Amino acid sequence: MFKGILINNDEQGYHASMQEINDNTLPEGDVTVKVLYSTLNYKDGLAITGKAPVIRSFPMIPGIDLVGVVEHSDSNQFKAGDIVLQNGFGIGETHCGGLAQKARLKSDWLIPLPTAFTPKQSMIIGTAGYTAMLCVIALEKNGVTPDKGEILVTGANGGVGSFAISILAKLGYAVVASTGRMQEVNYLQSLGATEVIHRDTLSNPGKPMAKERWAGVVDSVGSHTLVNACASTQYGGTVAACGLAQGMDLPGSVAPFILRGITLAGIDSVMRPIADRKEAWKRLGEILEPSVFDSIAEEIKLDTVVATANQLLAGKVRGRIVVDVQAD
- Rounded Cα distance, 153 and 111, in Å: 28
Mean pLDDT for 113-128 is 95
* Residue 3 in this model has a pLDDT that exceeds 90: yes
pLDDT of residue 317: 85
* Residue 296 in this model has a pLDDT that exceeds 90: no
Report helix, strand or coil for 177.
strand
* Residue 290 in this model has a pLDDT that exceeds 90: no
78-93 per-residue burial string, b: 16 or more CB within 10 A, e: under 16? beeebbbbbbbbebbb
pLDDT (tens digit per residue) in 154-170 = 999 988 999 999 999 99
**CB 77: neighbour CB atoms within 10 A?**
15
292: pLDDT confidence band, cut at 50, 70 and 90?
A: confident
Report helix, strand or coil for 218.
strand
What residue spans define the domains of the chain?
A: 2-113+293-324, 127-266
pLDDT of residue 106: 98
pLDDT (tens digit per residue) in 205-254 = 999 999 999 999 999 999 999 999 999 999 999 999 999 999 999 999 99
Please state whether beta strands 13-21 and 31-39 pair in parallel, antiparallel, or not at all (unpaired): unpaired
pLDDT of residue 56: 87
- Rounded Cα distance, 35 and 323, in Å: 10
Q: What is the pTM of this model?
A: 0.93
Average pLDDT score over the chain: 96
pLDDT of residue 295: 83
Give me the architecture of the 2-113+293-324 domain, per CATH. Alpha-Beta Complex (3.90)
pLDDT of residue 232: 98
pLDDT (tens digit per residue) in 82-118 = 999 999 999 999 999 999 999 999 999 999 999 999 9
Domain 127-266 in this protein, CATH class: alpha beta
- Rounded Cα distance, 316 and 324, in Å: 20
Mean pLDDT for 194-213 is 97
User: Who has greater pLDDT, 94 or 292?
Assistant: 94
